[in-house]
Chain A
Amino acid sequence: MIKLTVNGKSYELDLPSDMPVLWVIRDRLGLTGTKYGCGVAQCGACTVHMDGEAIRSCVTPVSRAAGKSIVTIEGLEPSLSKPLQEAWTEIDVPQCGYCQSGQIMAAAILIRDQPQPTDNDIDNAMAGNICRCCTYLRIRQAIHLASRLKSSNAMLSAI
């Protein structure tokens, strides 16, 4: 039995220890917002957070997640998900949308750690997330907008 927390909810699951986290969250828990892309940690579509860091869930064995906290796109905290969602909608980022869950999870780490990212920060942070529709420039714009929205949301909530 493996104990882990996903989006704040605790689970105790009977799983093979080498099962990838992606299989657990999609097939066992029904959280299908996270996508399977390449299966070899190359594309970033499966990005989720584990104890506050981005991981490629397609290659992370569930044994590594035991006792840890996983956050998927469905459970991203509002202070990050709200500005990102608004910015993504405003800029109309997705085309086919398949990679966008992973893109947003990676962008969430960036704007959390670097509230006002430069283009270079964005390139460094997002280069591991591949988009076959080449929405990269819109992703960059949206991250700038999301960081501004996040700052203003934080100022509003402080008043």
Chain B
Amino acid sequence: MKKIRYAPASRVWITGTIVAAGIVFSPFAFPENAVQEPVNLAFTLADTIDRTKAQNSNEEKKRAAESKAAFADAYKVFMHPRCMNCHPSGDAPLQGDKSTIHTMNVQRGPDGKGLFAMKCKNCHQDANLEGEHLPPGIETWHLPTAQRPMVFQGKTPRQLAMGFKDSAFTGFKDIHRLVEHVETDHLVLHSFTYGTRPPLSHKDFVARVKEWIDKGAELPDK
């Protein structure tokens, strides 16, 4: 059974004296203004912190919304046939504005450059050929490799954005390499030079990708 410990009479007396002295002398030690001002200051400070927090929260929300809006614009380019045709969900490239499977049973191959006598560069030259139904071309024509196929086809904006934030999907050390890729990669630049063009100019496309990342690389809702 637990023992109840009573305070000795001397301890009660000393404590009571100190409290009484505090009550008697407090007006001299803490004049009214000297107490009130720090309290007001504290309230003002707390209020300011609350308002700043609210402002920051609003700014963060605005920034996130802008990031998502930028990705929504860039997504239209990523999913345009000029880009998506070389980021298919299967192992065959797509072709044309309807993104149909490439004729001739062309296959990706391990290095993304085709197989056997059906390699990309067998037909695709170092530059676009003039005339109808002739293959477009650039020196580095290829698909992503079999090991890292970077599939765009069938991805929602959210899924694609998640992919871009995943170095296993992109092969880039960090997300800023994505900007470098869309800004300088010859194949990306080339996509804006032939056939039905993507819905943004290359300059605007790069700006929207940059904005998406600079404003937090927010994931779209869907």
| Chain A residues packing against B (C-beta within 8 Å) | 40-42, 47, 53-56, 59-61, 64, 105-107, 109-110, 113-114, 121, 123-129
Contact = CB atoms under 8 A, between A and B. Distances in A.
- The 3 nearest A-B residue pairs measured at CB: A127-B105, A106-B117, A125-B116
Contacts of B107: 124
B123 A59 contact: yes
Nearest to A112: B116
Contact of A60 (B115, B125, B131, B133): B125
Given A64-B126, A124-B107, 8 more contacts: A40-B133, A55-B121, A56-B123, A114-B116, A123-B105, A125-B118, A127-B104, A128-B106
Chain B contact residues: helix, strand, loop or mixed: loop
A64 B124 CA distance: 12
26 contacts: A40-B131, A40-B133, A41-B122, A41-B135, A42-B103, A47-B117, A53-B122, A54-B117, A54-B118, A54-B122, A55-B122, A56-B123, A59-B123, A59-B125, A60-B125, A61-B125, A105-B117, A106-B117, A107-B117, A109-B116, A109-B117, A125-B118, A126-B117, A128-B106, A128-B118, A128-B123
Contacts, number: 67
A123 B117 CA distance: 11
Contacts of A41: 122-123, 134-135
Nearest to A105: B117
Interface string B95-136: 000000001111100000001111101110110010101110
B87 to A, nearest CB: 21
Nearest to A47: B117
A107 B116 CA distance: 9
B115 A125 contact: yes
A59 B135 contact: yes
Nearest to A125: B116
A40 B125 CA distance: 12
A124 B115 contact: yes
Scoring B115, B117, B125, B129 by chain A CB atoms within 10 A of each residue's CB, the highest score goes to B117
Interface in B66-112: 103-107
A53 B123 contact: no
B116 A127 contact: no
B134 to A, nearest CB: 5
B135 A110 contact: no
B92 to A, nearest CB: 10
Contacts of A53: 119, 121-122
Contacts of A40: 131, 133-134
A67 to B, nearest CB: 14
Given A40-B134, A41-B134, A59-B135, A127 B118 contact: yes
A48 to B, nearest CB: 10
Given A127-B104, A128-B106, A64 B125 contact: yes
B133 A124 contact: no
A38 B105 CA distance: 18
